[in-house]
Amino acid sequence: MIEKRELKTRDAVIMYGGATIFSLLVSIPLVFAEQGFFKIILGYLIPQVAYAAGIFLYLRAGNISFKEAIPLKQGIISPLLFALCIPITVAVIAQDYLIMVGFSALMEKAGVELSVTMPVMENWYTVIITLVIICILPPIFEEFMFRGVFLSSMKKRGIKYAVILSALIFALSHFNMAQLVHQFIVGLVLGYMGYKAGNILYGILVHMLNNLLAIVLPYWGLYNSLAILTPTNIMVMVALCIVGGGILFLCILLFRKECNFRNKIIAYEQNSEKDKSVCYNNETCKLDALASEDEKIEKAVSSVRDNPPKLLDLWILGLCLVLGLILIFTTFLS
């Protein structure tokens, strides 16, 4: 049996680049199509199909483990963590609303009007199609790509590095300046949740709820009226930002605490009965175990000291620059 090889940032960039190029080529006929519900829906559907095909085909052809690239069926499963996904989603949107409105106002000063095209739901089947194409498929396959493939390929350089860069690529990949700020912050939250839990299921759920609110909230008059920059609205948005940020902070603390608690249980259960006896019943063996752990830490520190990681991976840097240039071109020059 051929041994599976390690996932590298080069693989992530090639995988993403191939899927994006394929998506753009397939989407060319949409440019000439009449504006309408199905044109908008196809604009959301095609990239997700490309992501799915690119990920599964590349991982199989490259002999890379699916479990290594996409932590989906391992890690922590906890009802509390699933419950926390709801307040986390609402808190992120409440916190970001002022930032999004302020950023949009600054862009308007620069002569750029920001907007996100959403399908108009006029009957029951357009509602179902919209929910499937926007609230289910993107959360699954975008999480596979950005919190799966990209985060997994970069995490050896440090989790902060991996979370921030994967969030930046996620935000730039929407090719829409109106989504840049919110998607970057959402990407940070989803990346951290995936790292702590060792599982992207929670990120998928938050992503689904975020997209659902993005569809529903514009139908609420009060939500739209807040975007008008009056003194009262600014005060309300500041209050939402503070309250949302506070709730988000508390929820993330609870999320981290639950993950740490669950990890201790998993670590304990994975020890053999002999190891448990050594750790909890024999003082001499306990000291030997501690010494062994100290040796491991010293070796790890020495390895980092002797082989310091590069500040930035050229594959990731190149991708960020290309995506940034495309975003600038489509925003200011189109």
In a domain, 300, yes or no: yes
* Within-domain flag for 24: no
**pLDDT for 309:** 55
Confidence of residue 156 (pLDDT cuts 50, 70, 90): confident
Which pLDDT does position 233 carry in this prediction? 93
Of these ranges, 204-213, 219-228, 262-271, the one predicted with the greatest mean pLDDT is 204-213
172 domain residue, yes or no: yes
Question: Would you say residue 31 lies in a domain?
Answer: no
Indicate whether 173 pLDDT > 50. Answer: yes
Domain residue limits at 139: 71-333
Q: What is the DSSP string of 13-57?
A: HHHHHHHHHHHHHHHHHHHHSPPSHHHHHHHHHHHHHHHHHHHHH
Residue-averaged pLDDT of the chain: 87
The reply to whether 141 falls in a domain is yes
- Per the structure, the count of domains in the chain is 1
Please tell me the chain's helix, strand, coil percentages from 3-state DSSP, rounded to the nearest 5: 80, 0, 20
Predicted confidence band at 247 (pLDDT cuts at 50, 70, 90)?
very high
Q: Is residue 120 part of a domain?
A: yes
Q: What is the pLDDT of residue 319?
A: 94
Distance CA 96, CA 210 (A): 12
Q: pLDDT of 266-300, one tens digit each?
A: 777 666 444 544 444 444 444 444 445 555 555 55
At 36-89, the pLDDT tens digits run: 899 999 999 999 999 999 999 999 999 999 988 999 877 888 999 999 999 999
Mean pLDDT of 137-164: 94
How many percent of the chain have pLDDT more than 70? 85
CA–CA separation, 250 and 285 (whole Å): 39
Q: Is residue 15 part of a domain?
A: no
In a domain, 137, yes or no: yes
Of 125 and 304, which is predicted with more confidence?
125
Residue 96 pLDDT exceeds 60: yes
Cα 329 from chain centre: 24
This prediction has a pTM of 0.87
